[in-house]
Copies of this chain bind each other. A is one copy, B any other.
């Protein structure tokens, strides 16, 4: 079957859910499937769950198109060796120097390409979302943490050891809020959902966040984006303050990125941003403008993610499409490394 008629799969393998999407070679969305990531998971049961999702997806997409799999891209939330298809380590899924690429490749009978989740999300926005057509850009995703990716000259820029784009660990307030990385005052410690939740829960103790308190108590993990959103909508002033403050810090982070990289555009995504939308982004933009030196004001468009949850599977599928094309064009097999 010629490659143009095959289907390509992108999988976002996350700590809580597995989201997969099937596309044709022109990146037209054919179908999506999802499942919960097994809890207390070992690698074997995660691979099993991933394979089930992909099989269901393929069945759905094949039924509608009669096509074979041309390639699969899988995004993983942890360090990996793209060239060898090895997942070095993941915090919650039991992978440790695990040959996920070759294992899945045998299972599916198609080439498999691994990618970091944030990088895949930025790549999705670049190829099919808010960054389409941009040459120099940045993606910032706000969730439990804050991750990022950098586009230079229309391609993902990975840095010298593949770690470029750790924008969540830029220090914006030396000595400020403690970060999970061991430092203080990182963007992630100031603007992530976790940071908002900590702030909001502190406000709850003064009675300024009754709705949040009734739903989440003092449990940070229960302060999901939807819970924070409903508390703000319901009138929890303490939660609104915490969310506004995080948006302002995000703006300081965006200003730093504009000073260093002078990008055409920065796309901002992730659960909180998707939930609070343009109003949240507008506050971040106002704070960014406050923190830019003269001359850089207005140089970068700050855009909301267009693809939302599908950014990561879309980027992973793009990597599979491009990687499979390279595999057919020449003898070199680099497992999706650009």
Contact = CB atoms under 8 A, between A and B. Distances in A.
A259 interface: yes
Contact of A257 (B79, B175, B260): B260
A263 B160 contact: yes
A185 B252 CA distance: 11
Contacts of A261: 150, 159, 164, 260
Nearest to A262: B159
Q: How many chain copies does the complex carry? A: 2
A312 to B, nearest CB: 21
A263 B159 contact: yes
A175 B173 CA distance: 8
Nearest to A301: B160
A199 interface: no
Nearest to A299: B161
A291 interface: yes
A171 B299 contact: no
Given A79-B295, A171-B172, A291-B183, A160 B255 contact: no
A183 B293 contact: yes
Interface string A160-194: 11111111011111111000011101000000000
Interface of A: 79, 135-136, 148, 150, 152-153, 157-167, 169-176, 181-183, 185, 249, 252, 255-257, 259-264, 291, 293-296, 299-300
